[in-house]
Structure 1
Amino acid sequence: MYAAHVSAPESSGRASPPTDRVVRILDYLAGRPTERFGVSDLARRVGLSKPTCLGIVTSLADAGYLVRDAADKTYRLGPSLITLGHKAQESMRVSPAAREELRRLSARFGVTAALSGVIDDRITLLDLVAPAGTRPGVEVGQSYPFAPPVGLMFVLWDEEAERNWLAKEPTIPLRTHSDRLNRVIDRCRDDGYLVERLTPGGRRLYSLMAGMSSTLPDELRALLGELVSDIGERVYLRDENGSATRKRHDISVISAPVYDHYQRQVMVASMHIGKALTDNEIVERARALVKTADAVSSQLGGVKPQR
């Protein structure tokens, strides 16, 4: 499963006439999704001989891409195309429209905006838009091991994924405060976003782990253990700051979930801050990020779960 920009395909100059015939039939039926056609009628409409057309529609029906009505011997689009369409939709997650959403967010707040997802059990940066003249320090395609404490933002809004993630062997020794973590999970699910503080350890964590395998050397594990020792310790929760709304907090990143049509979290939209913000500034940016994530979800045909 890989998300990438989609552009118009270039012709290789090596067309396959048999494949072209299959495509011709599927394209014709796709343009008439409520209609059914017999072999003779379909063959005439797409310009094929009846034996050739019969062979193609028989194979497509056997694979579930077409459905044959036994009573009148007609064909229409089949259920396997639904699955195929959903897979194609998932493979094109990072579209030009999604990138435009990132660009607007980046321009509004002067920050780096990104989309990332879990691919082959690694967190992978799928797209990124940075302000002009800045160097974000990460690159599209860069990946990190998906195991505690890294990856909380990818499981916060999915209870089953959360349990599976917590069951993984941590990349570093952890001291998990379950009450604190449960409070973090509940609040982030209610708010719809996650805010992580900028700490000296956090500044170095991702650069140290970038490109690493899931099994880290003991020496590096010990070093990382000094940097991050609790899954939820870097999470900012507004209600822990009392009424001091003008107090500034060093913020690293704000994240919000992107959903697919099954209401599953499939990506994370993030805003990389890297400076101190007041409570009100944090909320303003977080709400704008949630709108961006919701827009990307809509582009995917995604549905946001109701809490």
Structure 2
Amino acid sequence: MTGRTSPPTQRVVEVLDFLARHPHDRFGISELARRTGQSKPTCLGIVTTLAESGYLLRDAEDKTYRLGPSLISLGHVAQESMRAGPSAREELRALSSAYDTTAALAAIVDDRITLLELVDPPGTSGSEGRGTSVRVGQSYPFAPPVGLMFVLWDDDALRDWLAREPTIPLRTGSDRLDRVVAECRASGYLVERLTPGGRRLYALMAGMSSTMPQELRALLGELISDVGERVYLRSEAGTQRQKHDISVISAPVYDHYGRQTMVVSLQIGRALTDAEIARHAKGVMATAHTLTTQLGGLHPPHDARATRPTPR
């Protein structure tokens, strides 16, 4: 059974929907009333109220109306509220269950990498990821070498990130970084190796500001010296039966502009073969694809191949 509807509210929605379908045009009261099937007095009352609230803009010279700036902030708030909502959590739960490991969703919030959601596989308990030291709300400085997965699929974002003062001394212009960018964009996902240095790096940087003592910078510099050095590349993998210690597999989520807005990840924490890496990556890309769709985002070409993950 459907709930009761409100005809006055429906008329407001009709005005907004009509203008949204013509974002580059302006309309006077007579035409707007005619195009939405409303009387002029009713339409005038609606657009006057919307204009006073900033949801429409009124041109004083020709007395026409178009969409206003308040809709921009409203849209951003709506998009933010959907980022880690119930539907996103359900997708992460399906991913976690399919591959029996922790699934996570992260984004850049207030210029810091922030963990938005974390879901453990069935049979585990606790708010932290199984076998990990991360928790929801934990944040990290968004500067090299931390954050590559958030900029890897966008040239402008990657260039801006590399221009930031790194948290530790490192190289950013290596040929390997070029290979990392090319191969990850071709595959649609990023795989980070599991190394003692990597574990120590994130443990030390959790919650820390981008400014850290020189002694700590020097210590971290001993752990990692090149952006992308911990990334697994299939072209360097060796034999198919060889196993690789993998930390995390990630794929991007896009907004309606086609810009990367979040990252879906599987926390691996063990050795996988090339085939196992590819199978896990397929599930991660499928979840990222679904979340992009839920956000009304635009999928880049490589995402079009993604399918929903299935249990092993």
State the number of aligned residues.
272
Q: 1:248 — aligned with what?
A: 243
1:40 is aligned with what amino acid?
P
* Residues 54, 30 of structure 1: alpha-carbon distance in 2 compared, 3 angstrom cutoff: closer
Q: 1:10 — aligned with what?
A: none
| Residue 26 of structure 1: how far off its partner (Å) | 6.0
- Pairs within 5 Å for 1:85-104: 85-92=74-81, 93-104=83-94
Distance between the aligned counterparts of 1:58 and 1:144, measured in 2?
Answer: 41
Distance between the aligned counterparts of 1:210 and 1:168, measured in 2?
Answer: 19
Q: Unaligned regions of 5+ residues in structure 1, if any?
A: 1-22, 44-49
Does the 8 Å CA contact 1:89/1:300 hold for their aligned counterparts? no
**Which of the residues 222, 227, 231 maps onto 2:223?**
227
**Which of the residues 53, 56, 70 maps onto 2:49?**
56
- Pairs within 5 Å for 1:50-199: 56-57=49-50, 59-60=52-53, 63-65=54-56, 78-80=67-69, 83-92=72-81, 93-131=83-121, 132-133=123-124, 135-136=128-129, 137-176=133-172, 178-199=174-195
| Residue 119 of structure 1: how far off its partner (Å) | 1.2
Q: 2:310 — aligned with what?
A: none
The sequence identity of aligned pairs, in percent, is: 54
Deviations 1:49-107 (A, max 9, x none): x7xx79635524xx352668999x8x987354653453133212222111111000000
Asked if 1:271 is matched to 2:266, the reply is yes
Q: 2:296 — aligned with what?
A: 301
- Pairs within 5 Å for 1:14-53: 28-31=11-14, 33-34=17-18, 35=36, 37-38=38-39, 40-41=41-42
1:106 is aligned with what amino acid?
S
* Residues 70, 154 of structure 1: alpha-carbon distance in 2 compared, 3 angstrom cutoff: same
* Residues 225, 24 of structure 1: alpha-carbon distance in 2 compared, 3 angstrom cutoff: farther
SS at match of 2:113: strand
Deviations 1:177-226 (A, max 9, x none): 61000000000001000000000111121111011011011111111111
**Which of the residues 250, 254, 260 maps onto 2:255?**
260
Could you tell me the TM-score, scaled by structure 1's length? 0.80
* Residues 79, 196 of structure 1: alpha-carbon distance in 2 compared, 3 angstrom cutoff: same
Distance between the aligned counterparts of 1:25 and 1:68, measured in 2?
Answer: 25
* Residues 70, 193 of structure 1: alpha-carbon distance in 2 compared, 3 angstrom cutoff: same
* Residues 293, 76 of structure 1: alpha-carbon distance in 2 compared, 3 angstrom cutoff: same
Does the 8 Å CA contact 1:181/1:231 hold for their aligned counterparts? yes
| Residue 173 of structure 1: how far off its partner (Å) | 1.0
Does the 8 Å CA contact 2:57/2:65 hold for their aligned counterparts? yes
| Residue 36 of structure 1: how far off its partner (Å) | 5.7
Distance between the aligned counterparts of 1:66 and 1:172, measured in 2?
Answer: 48
Does the 8 Å CA contact 1:156/1:162 hold for their aligned counterparts? yes
Q: 1:292 — aligned with what?
A: 287
Distance between the aligned counterparts of 1:112 and 1:186, measured in 2?
Answer: 27
Task: Indicate the larger mover: 169-178 or 198-207.
Answer: 169-178
Deviations 1:113-165 (A, max 9, x none): 11101111110001110123254221111100000000000110010000000
2:72 is aligned with what amino acid?
T
1:101 is aligned with what amino acid?
E
* Residues 24, 166 of structure 1: alpha-carbon distance in 2 compared, 3 angstrom cutoff: farther
* Residues 251, 58 of structure 1: alpha-carbon distance in 2 compared, 3 angstrom cutoff: closer
Does the 8 Å CA contact 1:36/1:76 hold for their aligned counterparts? no
Distance between the aligned counterparts of 2:172 and 2:66, measured in 1?
Answer: 52
Does the 8 Å CA contact 1:245/1:279 hold for their aligned counterparts? yes
Distance between the aligned counterparts of 1:24 and 1:207, measured in 2?
Answer: 56
Distance between the aligned counterparts of 2:144 and 2:280, measured in 1?
Answer: 26
Distance between the aligned counterparts of 1:70 and 1:24, measured in 2?
Answer: 32
SS at match of 1:150: coil
